[in-house]
Amino acid sequence: MAESEGWWSRVPSMQLLACNSAVADVRRSFSPCPDDIGIKARGYAYSYCPISRVEISINNGKTWEEAKITYQEGERSWALWEAELELILDDDAEMNGVLVIEEDNNGRVKRKMTVLSRAVDSSGNEQELDCKWNLRGVGYCGAGGRMVEV
């Protein structure tokens, strides 16, 4: 349909990828206090110019913490990042939708949460939480996320 209506010729091709990041790995780390849970996250970011920072959120984007960039070689280079955060399990976390409560087949309750990432490049471009739709369907750039059981 897009071809028959001439859309391909009216929509320019992408020349540069938007500022983007993804959470590649997220794990729970244990602490002596059962209500304090550490979250370790790692991932990557990319833009057409160097990444200046990556931030992660464990509360659906209400607040962001800066991650540490561990590798980057300049322009058009992938940036690798990692971060450690503490999650305090309280009633606010459940009421604000940060935690998703599920019950498995054996009746055990599982609490899960999503870790989000967003990148900012050296030109000031900030990754958005939601990616704008485009006809060609390429260049997805919404905030990266991965769920972890806590």
pLDDT of amino acid 95: 46
Q: Work out the pLDDT band at 1, boundaries 50, 70, 90.
A: low
Mean pLDDT rounded to a whole number for the chain = 79
Mean pLDDT of 109-119: 83
- Residue 89 in this model has a pLDDT that exceeds 80: no
32-59 pLDDT tens trace = 776 677 889 999 999 989 999 999 998 8
Is pLDDT of 30 > 90? no
Look at residue 133 and tell me whether its pLDDT is greater than 90.
no
| Helix/strand/coil for 38 | strand
pLDDT attached to residue 147: 62
Looking up tokens 């060609």 gives: 136
- Cα distance between residue 31 and residue 53, in whole Å: 28
Indicate whether this model's pTM tops 0.85.
no
Could you tell me which residue, 93 or 121, shows the higher pLDDT?
Answer: 121
Q: What is the DSSP string of 77-107?
A: --EEEEEEEEEE--HHHHHTT-EEEEE-TTS
Q: Does residue 90 or residue 39 have the better pLDDT?
A: 39
Residue type for 107, please?
G
- Tell me the mean pLDDT in the region 55-77: 89
Sign of CA dihedral 79, 19, 119, 51: positive
Q: Which residue has better confidence, 59 or 66?
A: 66
List the domains of the chain with CATH numbers. 17-149 (2.60.40.650)
